[in-house]
Amino acid sequence: MAHAYTPGLKVLAKTLVSKTRRLPLKGDVKVREGESVKADQIVAHTDLPGNIFPVNVANFLNVEPSELDDFMVRKQGDEIKKGDILAETKGFFGLFKSSVASPVEGVLDSYSKVTGQAIIREAPIPVNIAAYIDGTVSELIPEEGVVVQTTAAFVQGIFGIGGERRGTLKILTKDSGSPLTEDLIDESCKGKILVGGSFLTLYAFKKAEKMGAEGIIVGGFNYKDIKDIVGYDIGVAITGEEPVNTTLIVTEGFGEIKMADQTFELLKSHEGDIASINGATQIRAGVIRPEVIISLKDTAGDKIKPSAIKGMDIGTVVRVIRAPYFGLLGEVTELPHELQRLASGSMARVARVKIFETQEDVLLPRANLEIYETK
């Protein structure tokens, strides 16, 4: 029988994870293929060109641009400090001189005898790329970066804000159905990645950020509160670059939604372990999901293949992503070939799913399901 394709969500106790670490432009790779690396280790480096500042020298000196050679004190390529004289007139018997000083520190990149402008370029901006996860360099990308591979516990979320963070997992709620409230957060949360159950309040997020938490993983969150955190509405564009100090990963959806038991128990089993997280999310073409990666110890000799979600089939565990069963897990028991008429009157491909929590046997549009991969 042909498989039915549907988006997938991974919650894996042990899998092979590969992360590509690439520079924004060509630079130097600092490690070798096969080398073991730590998450905070720099694996590649480059320098971005510094900002440029144009200075209209001819205008300041009240001379013709074609005459600049006669007045420039500095040559192209000279290092310049802020306030250094770039050009100067000879004056009258050494008096009544006019001069132009550099507004910034940098290098005299060039000057033009057509426009009369000098270009000052600030110092290059260093860019360092860290490994992000503990692992082994499985591939070198010459002058660009590396691929780091590790055996890890791996959890994907539905939505996130904030970029890459790293910290020790700390479970704050007693179970997957309990909300993460501000009274559970204190100074012991500094540098930690906090795990809650069904819901995170805005006040709890702000307190966690104030206490210096690196990240929060929780089942549900109020979508309207995101604007209060980042200062603007989040649309369909990719997230991950928000101006927050604490990365947020929502595993189930918006609203008060219990975290899936499998997810909570997996994270709980790794309490005290170091996790790498990234809230980057893209929900349109080229889906990017927020992630939690916990590199496992003592996996030498393990032969584990990367996880690959296959199509939906009989027995596949799925999660419902639309009301009235939103967030619930179930097992596919039937995949009818024929299109079925929905309550709305439209025709769609459906799947029969046995909901674990209620034991109901329901017929749902396949578009309302995502594969929930666990092992």
Residues 166 and 96 in one domain: no
248's tokens: 């947020």
In a domain, 354, yes or no: yes
Residues 327 and 281 in one domain: no
In a domain, 13, yes or no: no
Residues 249 and 169 in one domain: yes
Question: Count of domains in the chain?
Answer: 3
In a domain, 254, yes or no: yes
Residues 186 and 248 in one domain: yes
In a domain, 145, yes or no: no
Residues 255 and 201 in one domain: yes
Whichever domain contains 332, its CATH number is: 2.30.30.30
Instruction: Walk along the chain (375 residues) and give the pLDDT tens digit of each residue.
Output: 344 444 578 999 999 999 999 999 999 999 999 999 999 999 999 999 899 999 999 999 989 999 999 999 999 999 999 999 999 988 665 566 889 999 999 999 999 999 999 999 999 999 999 999 999 999 999 999 999 999 999 999 989 999 999 999 999 999 999 999 999 999 999 999 999 999 999 999 999 999 999 999 999 999 899 999 998 888 766 888 899 999 999 998 888 888 988 899 999 999 999 999 999 998 766 678 999 999 998 655 556 666 665 678 898 888 887 878 877 888 999 999 888 888 778 888 899 999 988 899 999 998 888 888 876
Residues 99 and 206 in one domain: no
In a domain, 113, yes or no: yes
Domain that holds residue 361: 317-374
Residues 274 and 229 in one domain: yes
Residues 96 and 179 in one domain: no
In a domain, 331, yes or no: yes
Residues 99 and 210 in one domain: no
In a domain, 279, yes or no: yes
